[in-house]
Amino acid sequence: MFKYLVALAAAAVLVTPALARIEAFPGTFHTQMVQTNGTSLFVRIGGKGPAVILLHGFGDTGDMWAPLATVLVKDHTVIVPDLRGMGLSAHPESGYTKKNQALDIAGVMDALQVKRADLVTHDIGNMVGYAVAAQYPQRITRWAAIDAPLPGIGNWESILRSPLLWHFNFRGPDEERLVQGRERIYLDRFYNELSADPKTIDTETRDHYAALYAKPHAMHDAFEQFGAFSQDATDNKALLAQGGKLTMPVLGVGGEKSFGTGMADELRFVADHVGSEIVPHSGHWIMEENPQATVKIVTEFLAK
């Protein structure tokens, strides 16, 4: 059983890095809406050199990656989408299986004329990332996956039984009415309970994401990401059975007070060459809680 199932429940308070804040992407980045797979994604693009794609998860948007993008842009082409139905991307009524969202990302690569890329993912971004790597293994050179499991893979059924994950099945019209106008309260629950120390996620950060998730259809579509997990589990089992394990280098990164080494353990069910790293003094929200350590871990992996 993963350390996060007990460590987060204990709400340990540690000596932590400086408070996180929302950072702007460097001025060398530009943004555009990319038409892909029947929808359009808001994408931040900057730099030159080998391509790297950064995928966010729930409670964040692509904005979370600014500290990492600032470093990578010096020698990479950095591509940072908001996932379907999240952030500033379009809000289609359907298509939230991760297998389908992988087609979104492949379409972004096509539109930007990127044949191959490294992949860095967090939370739901891990699930989309696996679907990308499994369906397009020749297009992904290496993959760093951070602090979230893959539906249907490894210890998924045990993970689902954690009381911390009640929100996986929290969706529907009444649930949306309960959250409407209270998005900040709802998101605070995740920032507080899934972090090593809630104080590392400041008011500016919380307000920033609450405003984005309060946009029309945003919370509905976030719930749809979770609602697709059952189909995602079926799809992932089929992708693994059909294609076998991934052969590119993979890094499992866990927050010290979240998945820890369990992230790499999960990835070994789907990949042959898996390394492991831990973000110290951090729970689930690695870029908000300890961006310096996360940037160091990811950049060193991509430089190998």
Give pLDDT, residue 22: 86
How far does CA 182 lie from the centroid of its chain? 23
Q: What is the pLDDT of residues 261-281, one digit of tens each?
A: 999 999 999 999 999 999 999
Q: What is the pLDDT of residues 197-250, one digit of tens each?
A: 999 999 999 999 999 999 999 999 999 999 999 999 999 999 999 999 999 999
Please report, for residues 35, 37, 105, 201, 227, the alpha-carbon distance to residue 111 in angstroms, rounded to integers and kept in the order given.
8, 11, 10, 35, 29
Neighbours of 105 (CB within 10 A): 29
Return the bridge partners of 18, or none: none
Task: Decide if pLDDT at 23 tops 50.
Answer: yes
Instruction: Label the pairing between strands 140-146 and 77-81.
Output: unpaired
| CB-based burial, 173-193: b 16+ in 10 Å, e otherwise | eebeeebeeebbebbeebbee
Extract the tokens encoding 242: 């059909």
pLDDT interval class at 8 (50, 70, 90): very low
Mean pLDDT of 175-195: 97
Task: Give me the amino acid identity at 134.
Answer: A
Q: What is the mean pLDDT of the chain?
A: 93
Q: What is the pLDDT of residues 80-105, one digit of tens each?
A: 999 999 999 999 999 999 999 999 99
| CA 90 – CA 34 distance, rounded (Å) | 10
